[in-house]
A and B are shown apart, each in its own frame.
Chain A
Amino acid sequence: MLLEVRNLKKYFSTPGGDLHAVDGVSFGIEEGHTLGVVGESGCGKSTLGRVILHLLDQTDGQIFFEGRDITHVNKRELKELQKKMQIIFQDPFSSLNPRMTVAQTIREPLLITKMYPKDQIDKEVLRMMDTVGLARRLANSYPHELDGGRRQRIGVARALVLNPKFIVCDEPVSALDVSIQAQIINLLLDLQKERGLTYIFITHDLSVVKYLSHDILVMYLGQMVEKSPARDIFRHPLHPYTKALLSAVPIPDVDAKLNRILLKGELTSPINPKPGCRFAQRCIYAKDKCSQVNPELEEILPGHTVACHYAGEINGL
């Protein structure tokens, strides 16, 4: 297990009370594997990634990396950690400094960590540009001169230049057109194969996440509702929310049968949430118990856990 998270919580205080962005999430990732984290906007998937990387402080819970408890680290330890854990952001437009050239952006982490002697740094930057498929002639270009795909390659290079073991990919292809999206996905897959990288891949795009994940974790309003190997979750989604989510994906096939489970109602507020299942209000199977008792995660099938009181019943298990 390269990374393990136990009962991780992150609450933000707001004027209306505590916003439970991440509420008791637990999982582990094997080295070289990809965990896909899916859920709709506001479910806490980005916050989860950021808390793991210490970009946000956790409220409760524990984080283990390479077997070591890294929940609380000092500045020096954090700097060491950042060499091993990196992030690729969603928006290649706002996550790059517009006043830094391609080479400067990729060089920055090397200057901060002093990983290489000065005279080697430039060579390392060019090598990195080759790795991610950025032509060397672009070294002195600024982000605004480049298209979205190339800009996202800079983001990948910046994350990769310290030779990390673990990368949080926070919607890295959502802002890109499909043909460019495919280029970046292939790049991430190649890099994983070559370097044995471990990814957390955060996205709302289910076909992308299925394509490149070993395991998938589904979040709803800060809580994990289901986790399983990628194939199983698509063949046998167990949680009513996962079922609805999968059924809502428009499949690019004219003969695809549409069996949409249309959810009624709006999201419940994650601010001071009431006890009980947070999905209960939109759930077609909800009973009284659902709005009173919070369902615990249970391993119903091998490797397949779900948080629903009636998961067994609904799925005939």
Chain B
Amino acid sequence: MTKKDVLLSIKDLDVQYKTEDGVVHAANGISLDLYEGETLGLVGETGAGKTTVALSVLKLIPDPPGKIVAGEITYKGRDIVNMPESEMRKIRGDEISMIFQDPMTALNPIIPVGEQIAEAVRFHSDVSRQEAQQKAMQTLELVGIPAERYDEYPHQFSGGMKQRVVIAIALCCNPHLLIADEPTTALDVTIQAQILEMMNELKSEMNTSLIMITHDLGIVAHMCDRVAVVYAGQVVEIGTTRQIFKNTAHPYTVGLFDSLPHLDDADDTELDERRLKPIPGLMPDPANLPHGCKFAPRCPYKTDVCENPVELKELEDGHMVRCILMDKQPGGEG
């Protein structure tokens, strides 16, 4: 991959939520760059902070209780964190848009789907109602929904079709940056295959950059140029998809791969002997994180040094790992 211009840059992002049980550290110094035209996968378990990153970029962190307490987010050289809301509204949905996880709840049930797309068009460009409707119909066709269905309501669509509508809303203003938060988790695999294929096509047509939030490493393998693995509000490993899959370095990433039932395993072993290798333990309570390496309590390679905070270090070109044992530990399957 040739290095292109940085479109979005996140540096040391800290996001906290104040709750009754204490301060929840949803992001603890997340740093990553997104290049023009690339697809970056954001991988991690529930509560790792993936969605927090997405919401921060769009400045949609519910405040209170949430707050970006430190860090920089730069989009095309412009500072997002301190941008006034009036300006942010021009960017949000126009330059940067988001596909939400659950198509069942992301749409307004009492407005026809076409209207919901046209609304976004009217908001961001100075067009007449008719022009907006035209544009909305075009976008519907683009995502594979006949324009005649413009006046239908969300309940008249299946799950896969609703997700297409959500994608149409996100795409109608030709965004530069698209953030997709588990866009196919709620869908069946054959429908998922259709949607992913469509997103890939649209992306190359429009030269959109994409942040793909997912927990499915299969989707990452097929969709992403680079991957950032997030754990307890930190990037623990980042690199090209090939680096992450072929030269897996962080014990957490290794654990993630090991927990998967591989389709091939079943051919080689008898059912009685098959066992998966889960990561022991649970993700730490985000209100009470360990001081040092956040993964240390579950890590098979833990030593005393892991009590101290660890920085991301470069393992190979563009492949960064947050682990103290990085140099000693053999790469590959771990």
Contacts and interface: CB of A to CB of B under 8 A. Distances in A.
Interface of A: 34, 40-41, 147-149, 177-183, 185-186, 189-190, 193, 204, 206-208, 210-212, 214, 230-231, 234, 244-245, 247-254, 256, 258, 260, 262-263, 266-267
Nearest to A231: B267
Interface centre among B45, B217, B263 (most CB of A within 10 A): B263
Contact of A207 (B158, B261, B272): B261
Nearest to B255: A179
B278 interface: yes
Nearest to B158: A266
A222 B101 CA distance: 28
Contact of B197 (A245, A251, A260): A260
B5 interface: no
B218 A250 contact: yes
Contacts of B245: 252-254
Nearest to B186: A41
Interface residues of B, number: 48
Interface stretch (B63-71, B127-135, B169-177, B187-195): B187-195
Query: Which 4 residue pairs are nearest across A and B when measured between Cβ atoms?
Result: A250-B218, A182-B278, A40-B188, A252-B217
Interface stretch (B27-35, B219-227, B310-318): B219-227
Given A230-B266, A231-B266, A250 B219 contact: yes
Give chain B's interface secondary structure class.
helix
Interface in B259-298: 259-263, 265-267, 271-272, 274-279, 282
Contacts of B120: none
B189 A249 contact: yes
A183 B278 contact: yes
B7 to A, nearest CB: 24
Contacts of B196: 250
Interface of B: 45-46, 158-161, 188-194, 196-197, 215-222, 241-242, 245-246, 255-263, 265-267, 271-272, 274-279, 282
B278 A249 contact: no
A210 B269 CA distance: 12
A234 B194 contact: no
A147 B282 contact: yes
Nearest to A175: B46
B276 A206 contact: no
A40 B189 contact: yes
A258 B219 CA distance: 12
B258 to A, nearest CB: 8
A178 B257 CA distance: 9
A231 B263 CA distance: 10
Contacts of B259: 178-179, 181-182
Contact of B45 (A178, A207, A256): A178
B287 to A, nearest CB: 14
Contact of B222 (A234, A258, A263): A258
A207 B221 contact: no
A179 B278 contact: yes
Given A177-B46, A178-B215, A211 B222 contact: no
A262 B144 CA distance: 14
B286 to A, nearest CB: 12
Nearest to A185: B276
A180 B276 CA distance: 11
Contacts of B191: 40
A210 B194 contact: no
A248 B263 contact: no
A204 B278 contact: no
27 contacts: A41-B159, A178-B256, A179-B255, A179-B259, A182-B260, A182-B278, A185-B261, A186-B276, A189-B275, A206-B263, A207-B260, A208-B261, A212-B271, A245-B189, A247-B193, A248-B190, A248-B193, A249-B189, A249-B218, A250-B192, A250-B193, A250-B216, A252-B220, A252-B260, A252-B262, A256-B221, A260-B197
Contacts of A181: 259, 278
Contacts of A193: 272
B189 A214 contact: no
Contact of B275 (A186, A208, A245): A186
B276 A210 contact: no
Nearest to A193: B272
B223 to A, nearest CB: 8
B197 A266 contact: no
A260 B275 CA distance: 29
Contacts of A177: 45-46, 215
A262 B263 contact: no
Contacts of B218: 249-252
A19 to B, nearest CB: 15
A267 B196 CA distance: 18
Given A178-B45, A186-B275, A249-B263, 14 more contacts: A40-B189, A147-B282, A177-B45, A182-B261, A182-B276, A185-B276, A204-B188, A207-B262, A211-B266, A214-B271, A231-B266, A245-B189, A266-B160, A266-B161
A244 B172 CA distance: 31
Contact of B194 (A208, A212, A256, A263): A263
Interface centre among A212, A230, A231, A250 (most CB of B within 10 A): A250
Given A40-B189, A185-B276, A266-B160, A250 B45 contact: no
